[in-house]
Chains A and B, each alone.
Chain A
Amino acid sequence: MSGIERYAAPRTLEEAAELLSAGGATVFAGGTDVMPQANAGRLRFQKTLLNIGRIAELRGIGESNGVVRIGALTTITELLESPLVRGRFRALWQSCDHFASDQIRNAATLGGNLCNASPAGDTLVPLLVLDAQVVLAGKPNGTLATRRLPLAGFLTGPGRTLRAAHELLTAVEIALPPAGFDSEYFKFGTRPALDIAAISIGLGAVREGRVLRDVRVAFGAVAPTPVRAPRVEAALEGRIADDAAIEAALEAAADEIHPISDIRASDWYRREMVRNMLQRMLCDVREG
């Protein structure tokens, strides 16, 4: 039997941080991860059930000085409907398009997807490609303090992040990529809707003529967290995506991923899929 003693739905970040500082709170926004995890016995409710979904300052997508701030409560549907996301962060838009179902996209929030920290989390791979930062806020000593972490460092393991118990993830910040930067997301599951990725790949680069610059590659569901692949990036950086460069990238990818076998796919299958799908994506780049 769960024993929630208190329910709170604060309207300001200050109030929420205050409640979190008191300790013993289960935080939820959309509820789409918390509810099934609680039902399956994988999450035990703390004394306080804290609904952060009413905090207006955690909403909205805006740009200032070349940095796009996406509030933690932005739903996946809102990301899909944002011209800014669609125009500048194509891989992120594609990951939202492949995300669960309409009903879940209407409820699920970006902050929730990040804090759930699934190795297969859909938005995580494109956000790694976009060099996203997470903003955390807490009130450890009575005053609201904010810190920023690169997403890559924030994610520490399956379901684990560097968010302290007294902190809330308030926003994601993405510096607008250089002109000409384009990105692509690939997700493989057994069916298009409502599936969890067996593997996913994010690829981003600027194409100068035929040469690739600012190459960024990330993989999902092949390691304890979604990961950037610096050696794959190095194999492609400053090069033309010809057969030799593509082969070097595929070899680097094989060394950089550490897949496991689970209910969705075997280790061998994940390796084959990463190799073949990364090859397909890079061939598409070569073909222009």
Chain B
Amino acid sequence: MSAKVEIDFTLNGVREQRAVAADMSALAMLRDVVGLTGTKYGCGEGECGACTIRVDGVTLNACLMFAVDCDGREVTTIEGLAATPPGEKLRASFVEHGAVQCGFCTPGLVMQASHLIEKNPGAGEEEIRRGIEGNLCRCTGYRKIIEAIAGAK
């Protein structure tokens, strides 16, 4: 067993103090320790983007991040984003454009979309496609997702 490490960070705007195993991923911590299951485990190796979270503003794959590395940082998950105006706008646009089928990729895509819109508010279709290249969706064929993101700007 790996040593437990005390970490202190901000999760969705609220201070969190947790003891986590040194070898645990941020994804396992969010889901199994904190109990926020909106962030999904897809591939576990950074290929699918279902576990996308924001750390100090930028998006990362939570499965590739050590939980201990959250110490002192600001972490936002889909649960936190959903409670903000940009999150609400994205959710409404995903619904309106029919961009959700099975829904497993949706939290990761919404997180990545929020980062992409914030960084490049004028993003056109090509830039949206590039921006979500790290997120896989096996249902929609992406077209409706791209329209949803474009509609949420």
**Which one of B1, B5, B66 lies within 8 Å of A1 (CB-CB)?**
B1
Tell yes or no: A55 within 8 A of B by CB.
no
Q: Which of A3, A28, A53, A193 has the most chain B CB atoms closer than 10 A to its own CB?
A: A193
Query: A106 and B69: CB pair below 8 A?
Result: no
Q: Which segment of B9-17, B40-48, B74-82, B91-99 sits at the interface?
A: B40-48
Query: For the side of the interface on B, what is the size category?
Result: 20 to 34
Q: Which residues of A contact B65 (CB under 8 A)?
A: 31, 35, 107
Q: When A32-B46, A49-B22 are in contact, do A103 and B66 touch as well, CB less than 8 Å? A: no
Q: Are B23 and A4 touching (Cβ within 8 A)?
A: yes
What are the interface flags for A1-45 relative to B under an 8 Å C-beta threshold, 1 for contact and 0 otherwise? 111111101000000000000000000101110011011100001
Whether a CB of chain A sits under 8 angstroms from the CB of B131 is yes
**Contact pick for B22, options A4, A35, A101, A103, CB 8 Å:** A4
> Which of chain B's residues have a CB closer than 8 A to the CB of A38?
23
From residue 40 to 76 of chain B, which have CB atoms closer than 8 A to chain A?
Answer: 44-47, 49, 52, 58-61, 63-66, 68-69, 71
Asked if A77 is an interface residue, CB under 8 A from chain B, the answer is: yes
Contact of B134 among A28, A36, A51, A194 (CB under 8 A): A194
Q: How far is the CB of A218 from chain B (nearest CB, A)?
A: 26
**Is A35 within 8 A of B64, CB to CB?**
yes
Interface 0/1 of B92-117, CB less than 8 Å to A? 00000000000000000000100110
Cα–Cα distance between A193 and B131 once the two chains are bound (Å): 10
| B-contact 0/1 string along A98-120, CB 8 Å cutoff | 00111110110000000000000
Give a binary string over B125-148; 1 marks a CB under 8 Å from any A CB, 0 the rest: 000001101110000000000000
Cβ of B25 within 8 Å of any chain A Cβ, yes or no, is: yes
The one of B115, B116, B133 in contact with A193, judged by C-beta atoms closer than 8 angstroms, is: B133
Q: Which positions in A face B, CB cutoff 8 Å?
A: 1-7, 9, 28, 30-32, 35-36, 38-40, 45, 49, 51, 53, 77, 100-104, 106-107, 192-194
The 5 closest A-B pairs by CB, nearest first: A101-B134, A193-B133, A4-B22, A4-B2, A106-B58
